[in-house]
Amino acid sequence: MSGRATTHRRSRSTSGTSAGSKGSPPMRRLPLSKPLDIVALIVSILTVAAVSLFAFGDRSAPDAVSIETDDARFLYPLDQDRVVTVSGPIGETLVEIRGGRARVIESPCRDKICILTGHLDATGAWTACLPNRIFVRIEGGVVGDGVDAQTY
């Protein structure tokens, strides 16, 4: 009986290197790609590239900062450094325009979120001092002269 146990142990240790048990078929490797897989991959990459270009491409360079209050809207070029004082319901907010960027540097509001936003330098970037009712936004030049949209 001890001879059988020894034989069984030997067969177990030598069979550890095989891919499976004696009755299982050998594993078959699938090809890495089929022709339709390659076509699907190329179509997917082209679709992502087209959507990315449409969404992020052809952006105009920022050229002005718009500062809006309840009463007025002011437009300042980004290429002229200055500090603008804007009056609101709770006091004065200072907007700094320097080096093609704008930021709120001082405001009478409590939380100072408008200041914590930091520099605005991309077209469409904005910050607001809600308690003082001041809205600051970076605007870009118009791309093309065509119609933006049509309505029927």
Q: What CATH number does the domain located at 62-140 have?
A: 2.60.320.10
> Average pLDDT over the chain, rounded to whole?
79
Chain segment 67-82, per-residue pLDDT in tens: 999 999 999 999 999 9
The values of phi and psi at residue 109, to 5°, are -70, 165
Burial class (CB in 10 A: 0-12, 13-18, 19+), 17: exposed
Chain segment 14-24, per-residue pLDDT in tens: 444 545 556 67
CA-CA-CA-CA torsion sign (37, 42, 45, 46)? negative
pTM here?
0.56
